C-alpha cells in the first residue's frame, strides 16, 4: 500500500508541475488557436490527474485541506472545460440534466465546506468554499436564464473555471512547500493575486479586446441556420 501512495505522490507532483508551466502558455497565446487548445487541454488533464491523486493522497496523510482543495480544483477545471460545450445557451434554453446535477451537487458540497470552515475556524477553507458555492450558484442561475446569455458568457465561465483551478493548485503547492510564508498567508496569496487577474480578463472580454485566432469558433455565435 505504501508503494501505491508513493507512486500516487510522484504522479501528483508531476501533474501539478505540468499544470503550473502550461497554464501561463495557454493564457499568453492567441485564444482559440491550435497552441491555445493544445496546451489548454494539457492543463485540464493535468488538473484532473493532480486533483484525483490529491483526493487519494489526502486520505493517506489525513489532510482535510488537501481533500477540499482537490475537490475545488477538480470542480473548477470541469466548470471551465464544460463551458466550451455550452456556447449554445446564448440562444438555446435547453440545459442538460447532467449540468443541473453537477452544479446542484457542487453547491451542496461547497455550502458544506463553508459550514465546516465556520465550525473549525479554518479561514482558507472558508474562502475556497465560498468561491465554490458562489460559482455553483451562478451556474444554476445561468442555467435558469438559458437562451438569454450574452454571446461571450461561456468564455467568461471558461476563464473563471480554469483560472480558479490554477489558483487552487498553486495554493496547495504554497501551503505544503513554501514553509517560509506564514499561515494563513501561504494559503491566501494565490487567491489575492489570481482574482484580480480573473477580473481583468473578464473586463477585456466584455470590452471585446481579446484577439481570437481566425476560424477558432470561439465567437460564441450560433450557426447561421439558427438565425431566423
Are 9 and 166 contacting, i.e. CB atoms less than 8 angstroms apart?
Answer: no
Are 131 and 71 contacting, i.e. CB atoms less than 8 angstroms apart?
Answer: no
The pLDDT of residue 100 is above 90: yes
**Which pLDDT does position 176 carry in this prediction?**
83
**Which pLDDT does position 56 carry in this prediction?**
86
How many Cβ atoms sit within 10 Å of the Cβ of residue 28? 10
Return all residues near 148 (Cβ < 8 A) that are at least 6 apart: 90
| pTM of the predicted model as reported, rounded to 2 decimal places | 0.85
**Which pLDDT does position 225 carry in this prediction?**
37
**Which pLDDT does position 226 carry in this prediction?**
35
**Which pLDDT does position 111 carry in this prediction?**
96
DSSP code per residue over 93-146: ----HHHHHHHHHHHHHHHHHHHHHHHHT-HHHHHHHHHHHHHHHHHHHHHHTT
Cα torsion angle, 174, 176, 178, 181, sign:
positive
Q: Greatest CA separation found in the chain?
A: 62
Q: Quote the mean pLDDT of the chain.
A: 87
* Arithmetic mean of pLDDT, 148-173: 92
Instruction: Round to whole Å and give the CA distance between 39 and 11.
Output: 19
The pLDDT of residue 138 is above 90: yes
Amino acid at each position: 500500500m505504501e508503494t501505491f501512495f508513493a507512486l500516487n505522490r510522484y504522479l501528483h507532483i508531476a501533474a501539478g508541475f505540468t499544470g503550473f508551466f502550461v497554464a501561463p502558455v495557454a493564457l499568453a497565446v492567441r485564444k482559440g488557436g491550435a497552441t491555445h487548445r493544445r496546451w489548454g487541454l494539457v492543463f485540464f488533464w493535468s488538473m484532473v490527474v493532480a486533483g484525483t491523486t490529491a483526493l487519494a493522497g489526502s486520505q493517506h496523510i489525513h489532510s482535510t485541506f488537501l481533500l477540499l482543495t482537490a475537490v475545488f480544483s477538480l470542480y473548477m477545471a470541469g466548470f471551465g472545460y464544460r463551458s466550451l460545450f455550452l456556447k449554445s445557451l446564448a440562444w438555446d434554453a435547453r440545459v442538460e440534466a447532467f449540468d443541473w446535477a453537477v452544479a446542484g451537487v457542487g453547491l451542496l458540497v461547497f455550502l458544506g465546506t463553508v459550514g465546516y470552515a465556520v465550525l473549525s475556524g479554518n479561514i482558507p477553507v472558508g474562502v475556497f468554499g465560498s468561491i465554490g458555492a458562489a460559482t455553483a450558484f451562478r451556474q444554476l442561475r445561468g442555467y435558469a436564464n438559458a437562451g438569454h446569455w450574452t454571446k461571450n458568457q461561456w468564455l467568461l465561465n471558461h476563464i473563471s473555471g480554469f483560472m480558479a483551478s490554477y489558483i487552487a493548485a498553486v495554493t496547495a503547492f504554497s501551503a505544503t512547500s513554501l514553509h517560509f510564508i506564514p499561515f494563513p498567508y501561504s494559503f491566501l496569496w494565490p487567491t489575492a493575486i489570481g482574482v484580480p487577474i480573473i477580473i481583468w480578463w473578464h473586463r477585456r472580454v466584455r470590452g471585446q479586446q481579446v484577439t481570437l485566432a481566425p476560424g477558432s469558433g470561439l465567437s460564441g455565435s450560433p450557426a447561421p441556420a439558427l438565425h431566423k
